[in-house]
Structure 1
């Protein structure tokens, strides 16, 4: 379960950071704040503040095309969500429903995808949970 939970938290963190730049942001922030309020009420206000601060950082990073900052923010929220779900594994379905509700497209975590690849020497591995386009010359 831990690997599945980690994968789900990664997908949820990525989805959350993506939603920070959409029209669904206000509803998303309210939903995440309610989730924390129910599970960890003492942290809910801090999480709400973190969500707003992260959104401002995401908007700045997007306008500057700062992929490193976007990656750091995804990791930060993956960590928050993973720790929340480790403490409250019963909340996985609640989080899944929330993401389905606020995502303009089905959440990337709607169906679990597990991939494993091993390469050695000059081998290459290409894996995708969805569309993949490779242009090599």
Structure 2
């Protein structure tokens, strides 16, 4: 909400909401407009708690929309991947977590796993 591409993000979000069949898509746009100054003020003040609370309220709203209409998950994923996440600054973008590797060997089997380079010398 605090990026220069705000208008694009807003229009994409309202468009997604409208595509859900919700009758309150225009109200969602107005609510986004209302909350934007709050986000900007929190960002300028360095108030991460307020900014996080505002983001959490919208996250909860999107989660509720998915609970009501689970068939919208793919469309929401597209909105996030193609419109919302690219509009975030590098600092704001979600960072991948550590890799999780699982392996099972049986009998005389061996498992070799590495997150980067691996050199194996067997004799």
Q: List per-residue Cα deviations over 1:38-96 (Å, max 9, x = no partner).
A: 21432111111111112111100000111121121011011110110111111111111
Normalising by structure 1, what TM-score? 0.60
- 1:23 aligned onto 2:4: yes
Q: Partner of 2:78 in structure 1? A: 97
* Structure 1 residues not aligned, in runs of 5+: 1-19, 110-127, 131-137
Distance 1:108 1:90, change over 3 A: farther
Say how many residue pairs are matched: 93
Q: Partner of 2:23 in structure 1? A: 42
- Please point out which of 30, 33, 50 is paired with 2:14: 33
Q: Partner of 2:33 in structure 1? A: 52
Q: Which has the higher helix share?
A: 1
What is the SS of the residue equivalent to 1:95? helix
- Please point out which of 44, 49, 52 is paired with 1:68: 49
Q: Partner of 2:116 in structure 1? A: none
Which of structure 1's runs of 4+ aligned residues deviate more than 6 A?
none
Which structure's CA Rg is the greater one? 2
* Structure 2 residues not aligned, in runs of 5+: 99-123
CA RMSD across the alignment: 2.3
